[in-house]
Structure 1
Amino acid sequence: MTDRRVVVVVVPAAGTWAPPGRDAEAWRLALAEDTYEVLAALDRVDVAVAVAGGDEAAVAEVSALTWPGTPTYAVDVHRPVLHAVELAGPAAAVVAVSHDVPDLPGLLIGKLFRALSHADLAVTPAEDGSLAAIGVNVPVAGWVADFSPHFDTSLADLDARKPRRHAVAIGPGWHRLRSNADIARLDPGLEGWDATRSLLRHS
C-alpha cells in the first residue's frame, strides 16, 4: 500500500481557443506552463504532465516547459483522465488538472486529496459547467472506470452515475480560461501565471 499522491496536468495536443490576436499554440503552451508551475510548487505530491492525443513531438514540446525529471507522456484523447491515472504509477490518489487554470490556488488541490480519503471521485467544478480538476481514488472504483469522466463531464452526469451519496465529493469551484470573458477573472495583483500574463501583454 502506498500513500503517494500524484497530480497530472492534462494538456491537449493542439491549440484550441485563444484570445484575439494571440497564437493558439503559444496560448496553449503558456496556460500549460503556468498550470504546471502552480502544481509543481505543491508539497508532498509528485507532478506529471499528460498530453491528450499527442505524438512524440507533442510530448517533447510540452516536456520542455517542465522541470527536469518530470514525467511527461501521451494519453488517449478519449479517456485522458483515467489513462493519466493508469500511467501515474503506484499511488493512493491521483488528481488530473485541466491545463487552462493558470491561476488555480494550490489549496483547492489539497482539498480534493483530503476528500478522496472517503470518496471515489473529487472534483473542482468550473464556472462554465465543466470541471477544472478531477481527483480519482486508487484503485479506481468500477463505476468510475466504466464512466470514465473527463473535463467536460457535468456535475449532473456525475450525480446521475454515482452509486452512493458520498461517492463524489465536490470541492470549491474555480474558472478555466476558455473565452474572452474568462480573462477578466485573472487577478493582476496575484503572483504567478507569468507565461499567460506575458502573452496577454504582447500581441
Structure 2
Amino acid sequence: MSDRRYVVLVVPARGTWAPPGRDPEAWRLALAEDTYEVLAALDLVDVAIAVAGGDDESVEELAALTWPGTPVFAVDAERAVLDAVAKVGPSPAVVAVSHDVPDLPGLLVGKLFRALGSADLAVTPAEDGSLAAIGVRLPVAGWVDELAPDFDTSLATLDEHKPRRHAVALGPGWHRLRSAADIARLDPGLEGWDATRSQLRGS
C-alpha cells in the first residue's frame, strides 16, 4: 500500500441550500471551488473530487474548477464517503471533506490524519450536529463499512456503532454553510473563500 495521503472533496451533484436570492447551483460550485482551494494548498497530500450521484456533465463541471491533474469522478450518493475513499487510490488513510466548508483551516485536516494512526475514523464535528470532514483508516474497518457514515451522520450514531472506546477520534469542531445563520461565522478579514465571498456580494 502506498504511503501517500489523500484528501477527497465530496460535492453533491446538484445544488442544495443557498442564501436568499442566490442560485443554488452557483452557490454549490462557489463553496466547492473555495473548499478545493483550501485542500489544494495543503502540503504532502493528493487531492481529488468526488461528485455524489454525479454524471459526466457534473463531473466535467467540477473538473473545470480544479488544477490540471486533479482526479474528479462520480460516486454512489448512498455511500459517497466510502466510495470516494475507495476510488482515490491505495493509502493508509484518506480524509473526505464536505464541499460546504470554504474557510476550513487546513490544520484541521492534518489533525485527522494524525488521529488515524490508531482510530478507525477521525471526524471534524460541525456546529449543527453534522460532520465537516471524515477521516478513514484503511483497510476500512468492518463496522465502518457497514455503517457507511456520511456528513449527516451524528456523533451519537458513531458512538452507538463503534466497537471500542477509541475507534472514533474527534478533531476540533468547525462550521458548515447550510443556513443563513452559518453565514455570520465567515470572517471577512481572512484571506480565501473568494468565490463564496463573490456570491454573497451578488457578483
Instruction: Provide the residue aligned with 1:40 in structure 2.
Output: 40
Structure 1 position 125 matched with structure 2 position 122: no
Instruction: Provide the residue aligned with 1:197 in structure 2.
Output: 197
Letter in 1 for 2:98: S
Please give the secondary structure, in 1, of the residue aligned with 2:122.
Answer: strand
Instruction: Provide the residue aligned with 1:149 in structure 2.
Output: 149
- For residues 58 and 88 of structure 2, the distance between their equivalents in structure 1, rounded to whole angstroms, comes to 19
Please give the secondary structure, in 1, of the residue aligned with 2:77.
Answer: coil
Instruction: Provide the residue aligned with 1:65 in structure 2.
Output: 65
Instruction: After TM superposition, give the deviation of residue 197 of structure 1 in Å.
Output: 0.3
Instruction: Provide the residue aligned with 2:175 in structure 1.
Output: 175
Letter in 2 for 1:19: P
**Pairs aligned (count):** 203
- For residues 61 and 88 of structure 1, the distance between their equivalents in structure 2, rounded to whole angstroms, comes to 19
Letter in 2 for 1:44: L
Q: Which piece of structure 1 moves more, 95-104 or 1-10?
A: 1-10
Q: Give the % identical residues.
A: 80
Shift >2 Å, 4+ stretches? none
- Unpaired runs of 5+ residues, structure 2, are none
Instruction: After TM superposition, give the deviation of residue 2 of structure 1 in Å.
Output: 2.3
- For residues 146 and 202 of structure 1, the distance between their equivalents in structure 2, rounded to whole angstroms, comes to 43
Instruction: After TM superposition, give the deviation of residue 3 of structure 1 in Å.
Output: 1.4
Letter in 2 for 1:184: A
TM-score norm. by structure 2 comes to 0.99
- For residues 54 and 37 of structure 1, the distance between their equivalents in structure 2, rounded to whole angstroms, comes to 21
**What value does the CA root-mean-square deviation take over the aligned residues?**
0.6
- Unpaired runs of 5+ residues, structure 1, are none
User: How far does the alpha carbon of each residue in 1:138-157 deviate from its partner, in whole angstroms, 9 at most, with x for none?
Assistant: 11111111110000000000
Instruction: Provide the residue aligned with 2:87 in structure 1.
Output: 87
Instruction: After TM superposition, give the deviation of residue 202 of structure 1 in Å.
Output: 1.4
User: How far does the alpha carbon of each residue in 1:96-132 deviate from its partner, in whole angstroms, 9 at most, with x for none?
Assistant: 0000000000000000000000100000000000000
- For residues 147 and 101 of structure 2, the distance between their equivalents in structure 1, rounded to whole angstroms, comes to 24
Instruction: Provide the residue aligned with 2:164 in structure 1.
Output: 164
Instruction: Provide the residue aligned with 1:10 in structure 2.
Output: 10
